[in-house]
A = this chain, B = another copy of it.
Amino acid sequence: MKFCSKCGHKVVKAIPAGDNKERFVCGNCGEIHYQNPRVIVGVLPTYQQQILLCKRAIEPRHGYWTLPAGFLENGESTLEGALRECYEEANAAVINPSLYALYDIPRINQVYVFYRAEMAKPEFGPSIESTEVELFDEAYIPWDQLAFPVVQMVLDQFLHHRKSGEYQIIREDIKGPWQGRREQA
Q: Given known contacts A102-B113, A106-B80, A113-B102, is B34 in contact with A71 (CB within 8 Å)?
A: yes
CB <8 Å contact, A106 and B128 = no
CB <8 Å contact, B74 and A37 = yes
A169 to B128, CA, bound (A): 35
A side interface size, CB within 8 A? 47
**Nearest neighbor of A185 in chain B, beta-carbon distance:** B34
CB <8 Å contact, B113 and A33 = no
For the complex of A and B, list the 7 residue pairs with the smallest distance between their C-beta atoms, beginning with the closest.
A77-B104, A3-B8, A99-B171, A74-B109, A1-B5, A77-B173, A5-B5
A155 within 8 A of B: no
Counting chain B CB atoms within 10 Å of each CB, the highest count among A7, A9, A99, A107 belongs to A99
* Interface hits, A61-108 → B, CB 8 Å: 71-80, 98-99, 102, 104, 106-107
A113 to B5, CA, bound (A): 29
A4 within 8 A of B: yes
Which one, B8, B31, B37, contacts A72 given CB within 8 A?
A: B37
